[in-house]
Structure 1
């Protein structure tokens, strides 16, 4: 190594040492500001709770809320195919009790009169009183079953005996009389044998007796009465329940021995309709769902062709209480079975 090279190396070393000393003596702190993470506001959608027939659903877009049934049997009970706007249309020249814009009322209502006066009016119009039945212990509710020759003759066919009478409920507490509409009853219970002429003549007679009749709030689309049922998988009119089998006379004799018969209605074809008392425990179901239509008691039993049968309770209660809600029906869930057992005991 020559002398010049040595000098260069020594000079470079001195420079590096001086820079190091200078850096140590003049240390400067450098603050680096790290930017803050920006706040991101996430919008959380509101969670609405939708109740459908007692079941709750959230507004999750992936969950489909089932549609409510429009047929009878939904929790908010309405007649089948009932249109509120259409039902409010009152057609001119339509009598109380007649079909009004496809809708018919199940009952006709008027102010209360004494039982004696009521029976007198009915008999003077050639109606026959079959029974007077106290629905409650206090006697504020009385069910009167009545008929006439035309109705009896019309119902004297197989499986049509239940149309052979009408019901009146005398309600002292509400100072009201509620009469089963003959157009409604005959359409439901006569099915394809419905006779419009006799039904309207019977309605006209009731108008001649009571001048101030009004339609009840119990309404149904008239065309549905022939295939009426509470809801899907529930019985129709024709789905009657057999209670006992035997000769007609023998069955009637057994029923009489039970001391449960309130009335007997003998039809022209040899069939007999009997109205029977239900047990105290069973008959209380009318208190739970409303006394307003409790004229369906006493419970009718048809004895014909050596068989005793009843309208399926799930059908009979529903057709006599057309505005019955699902929740009310569930309140009396054990009653249809209890009614069948009570009727069965009549023939033991």
Structure 2
């Protein structure tokens, strides 16, 4: 084959492969709300979500982030698909919608997060995720995606850079005697505010021995408000709250050098160095929540 012909076929192959290299952003802008009190705006968004078939399971006003709130929802189709996958896929059970006092609405891009959390088994939940994504867009509006870009094919094994954690790196916290003991321990610790935490939501599938909780980290010195403000990330409020999850008798929390990077993939290394202590603080907090009282 002549060199010119070889170059032609190479270009053709690259063009055909290009659609597979799709970049995804972690968040999508919704339609902006009219001026009102934040509580009224949250109520209006909840009404839209419920009308679209979603179930509201939690509300979160992060300490240290005034004027920001998160609504946590579930979708029956996604829950059914995740239940069939089982295991660590439970971490992806909840969807989050951010609302800010200026009327800005944003929501997690379900495809982005489920590709990262369900990983190699994403294909088993894809239809449900795409259906929920379409209903979110219809209910809240589909504006510009934002928050950075990650190639879709890279999300199953995502890490911010070489040497940093992936989904299952350093995520195990505590092993218990049974699933029931693990579940009771997390519930009890969140109920009494261990390590300045509080429960935002929970999804439990006892038949699969999996559960996930949203954890508000309210410590003024090491909680979510501290590190989110340091990276100027309140626009990403739909990343919160942080999750802790149970598979069989073991409690897990995604390590922060993965979880924060996934939620803020466009941050520079200098910004991450500004919250150098956050991963250890989060791990310490979640370990206390996971431990038998």
Q: Same fold (TM over 0.5)?
A: yes
Higher relative contact order (Cα pairs below 8 Å, separated by 6+ residues)? 2
Q: Which residue of 1 aligns with 2:209?
A: 270
Partner secondary structure for residue 53 of structure 2? coil
Gaps of 5+ in 1: 1-90, 92-98
8 A Cα contact 2:167 2:254, kept in partner: yes
- CA deviations on 1:50-87 (whole Å, 9 max, x unpaired) are xxxxxxxxxxxxxxxxxxxxxxxxxxxxxxxxxxxxxx
Which residues of 2 match residues 267-306 of structure 1 at below 5 A?
267=205, 269-278=208-217, 279-282=219-222, 283=224, 284-289=226-231, 290-306=233-249
Distance 2:253 2:21 in 1: 33
> Does residue 102 of structure 1 match 2:22?
yes
Q: Quote how far apart the aligned CAs of 1:185 are.
A: 0.9
1:319 aligns with 2:257: no
Alpha-carbon shift at residue 129 of structure 1 (Å): 1.1
TM-score normalized with structure 1 length: 0.67
CA distance in 1, matches of 2:128, 2:261: 25
Any idea what the Cα deviations from partners look like across 1:184-235, whole Å, max 9, x if unmatched?
1111111111133222111111122123422224222212111210111111
Q: Matches of residues 191-230 of structure 1 in structure 2 within 5 Å? A: 191-194=119-122, 195-230=125-160
**1:128-139 aligned within 5 A:** 128-137=55-64, 139=66
The question of 1:172 aligning with 2:172 is answered: no
Cα 1:212–1:227 change in 2 (3 A) is closer
Compute the displacement of 1:100 (Å): 9.4
Rounded to whole Å, the distance in 2 between the matches of 1:256 and 1:299 is 15
Distance in structure 2 (CA, Å) of the matches to 1:211 and 1:299: 25
Q: Which has the higher helix share?
A: 2
Deviation (angstroms), 1:309: 0.5
Q: 1:112 to 1:327 in 2, by over 3 A?
A: same
Q: Is the 8 A contact 2:63 2:220 kept in 1?
A: no
Question: What's the secondary structure of 2:174's corresponding residue?
Answer: strand
1:334, CA displacement in angstroms?
Answer: 0.7
Task: Say which one has the larger Rg.
Answer: 1
Stretch moving more, 287-296 or 222-231 = 287-296
Please report the TM-score for the alignment, with normalisation by the length of structure 2: 0.79
Structure 1 range deviating more: 162-171 or 248-257: 248-257
Aligned residues: 250
SS in 2 for 1:287: helix
Q: Which structure 2 residue ranges, 5 or more long, are not aligned?
A: 1-17, 34-40, 192-197
**Residue 140 in 1 paired to residue 83 in 2?**
no
Cα distance in 2, alignment partners of residues 165 and 237 from structure 1: 17
- 1:238-257 residue pairs with structure 2 within 5 A? 238-246=168-176, 247-257=178-188
Contact 1:154 1:164 in 2 (8 A): no
Contact 1:219 1:322 in 2 (8 A): yes
Equivalent position SS for 2:259: helix
Q: 1:126 aligns with which of 47, 50, 53?
A: 53
Tell me which of 313, 328, 342 is aligned to 2:271.
328
